[in-house]
């Protein structure tokens, strides 16, 4: 079985297991905040993964995630809340509108080769400010009055509000990460990596750089807007100030950078870590110090683990698994904390301390596999049956 097939089977297993979580919560009569915690994490995983398809793969640094998120929020607000569209019909439209906006931006910036690097980043940042002004000044969109989403009906088969949010965000997050993986393993992914390393050389070697960048930007904008459409329900009352702000792009960038931008799993790990720590700090009443603590932790992690947390975890996967699950077991059995979320956050912190150990020191502390003598010849390959060896 190939690695690709194993990964796809892993996606299927994750979809089944995570899809059953609401049923487990109901059977165990667990508090509803577990579902809230998880669907908020799915939101950030999707946003970070979609951003990384453009920036991590192609190297075009973008601040536009807030724009795609805002387009999705306002599209579902206008269609579902103002015009009475069924929510599950308005949702894919929100994704398509966001994708179309991304492609429209790409037609302009990618045709002008001088709009790259810092200029590209500032251009994507300006898109959010322009869209915020348009929404505030246009009565058909917002007009400064805001949009109420609290009365928007949802299909009964999705369950109550928390369960509905969980299932919708889970599906979108899985689709986003699966898309990031498929691009990572495809010809398109290799083309984007070559653009990241040296776009002029890639163009000279025949890579269709314009088309590949358009696909990456369109995919990024589509999933950013699609998840934004779902998140409009969580916001409840949509305002320009709450939607078109710098918080979403900044957190998404931090999550992807922490997890590792050069692998499709990096943003997933980074989003899980940052959201968990942020949520626990807020829960502990440290909301005012949240940004200071998270910022200091990120500086330490980025300096200590430059390749990203995920690649360090993969290099030390046995130790990471033993430490994380061992910590979870001890904390749970001895009832050290008040909830599984606290156990999860402490286990993450303990594991990250191990990951901060520099690689040279780690190799000294861990036993090495005995290498073969350098003079030994490589083993002979078996000769296929029916053919004589030479």
pLDDT tens sequence across 106-119: 998 988 776 677 88
Query: Token pair for residue 286?
Result: 């440290």
pLDDT at residue 196, as a whole number: 93
Cα–Cα separations (whole angstroms), residue 193 to 51, 184, 216, 221, 299: 15, 9, 11, 19, 26
Q: What percent of the chain has pLDDT over 90?
A: 60
- Give the length of the chain: 390
Are 226 and 72 contacting, i.e. CB atoms less than 8 angstroms apart?
Answer: yes
pLDDT tens sequence across 292-334: 877 787 788 777 788 889 999 999 999 999 999 999 999 988 8
pLDDT tens sequence across 185-214: 999 999 999 999 999 999 999 999 999 999
Model confidence band, residue 382 (pLDDT cutoffs 50, 70, 90): very low
Model confidence band, residue 373 (pLDDT cutoffs 50, 70, 90): very low
Residue 389 pLDDT > 70 = no
Are 75 and 222 contacting, i.e. CB atoms less than 8 angstroms apart?
Answer: no
Helix pair angle (65-76, 87-109), 10° resolution: 150
């Amino acid at each position: 079985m190939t690695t690709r097939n194993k990964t796809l089977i892993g996606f299927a297993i994750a979809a089944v297991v995570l899809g059953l979580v609401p049923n487990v919560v109901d059977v165990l009569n667990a508090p509803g905040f577990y579902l809230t915690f998880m669907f908020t994490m799915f939101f950030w995983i999707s946003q970070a993964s979609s951003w990384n398809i453009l920036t991590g793969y192609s190297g075009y640094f973008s601040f536009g995630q807030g724009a795609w998120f805002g387009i999705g929020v306002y599209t579902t607000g206008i269609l579902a809340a103002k015009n009475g569209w069924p929510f599950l019909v308005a949702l894919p439209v929100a994704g398509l509108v966001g994708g179309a906006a991304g492609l429209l931006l790409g037609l302009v910036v990618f045709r002008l080769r001088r709009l790259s690097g810092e200029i590209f980043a500032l251009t994507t940042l300006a898109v959010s400010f322009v869209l915020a002004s348009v929404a505030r000044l246009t009565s058909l969109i917002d007009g400064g009055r805001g949009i109420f989403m609290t009365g928007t009906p949802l299909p009964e088969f999705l369950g109550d509000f928390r369960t509905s949010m969980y299932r919708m965000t889970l599906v979108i997050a899985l689709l986003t990460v699966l898309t990031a993986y498929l691009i990572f393993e495809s010809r398109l992914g290799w083309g984007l990596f070559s653009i990241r390393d040296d776009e002029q050389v890639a163009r000279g070697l025949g890579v269709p750089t314009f088309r590949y960048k358009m696909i990456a930007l369109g995919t990024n904008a589509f999933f950013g807007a699609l998840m934004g459409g779902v998140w409009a329900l969580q916001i409840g009352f949509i305002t320009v100030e709450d939607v078109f702000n710098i918080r979403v792009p900044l957190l998404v960038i931090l999550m992807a950078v922490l997890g590792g931008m050069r692998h499709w799993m990096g943003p997933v790990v980074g989003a899980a870590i940052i959201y968990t720590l942020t949520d626990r700090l807020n829960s502990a009443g440290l909301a005012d110090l949240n940004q200071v603590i998270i910022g200091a932790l990120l500086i330490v992690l980025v300096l200590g683990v430059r390749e990203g947390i995920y690649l360090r975890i993969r290099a030390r996967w046995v130790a990471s698994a033993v430490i994380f699950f061992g910590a979870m077991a001890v904390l749970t059995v001895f009832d050290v904390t008040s909830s599984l979320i606290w156990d999860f956050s402490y286990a993450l912190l303990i594991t990250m301390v191990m990951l901060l150990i520099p690689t040279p020191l780690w190799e000294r502390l861990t036993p090495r596999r005995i290498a073969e003598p350098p003079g030994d010849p490589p083993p002979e390959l078996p000769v296929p049956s029916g053919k004589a060896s030479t």
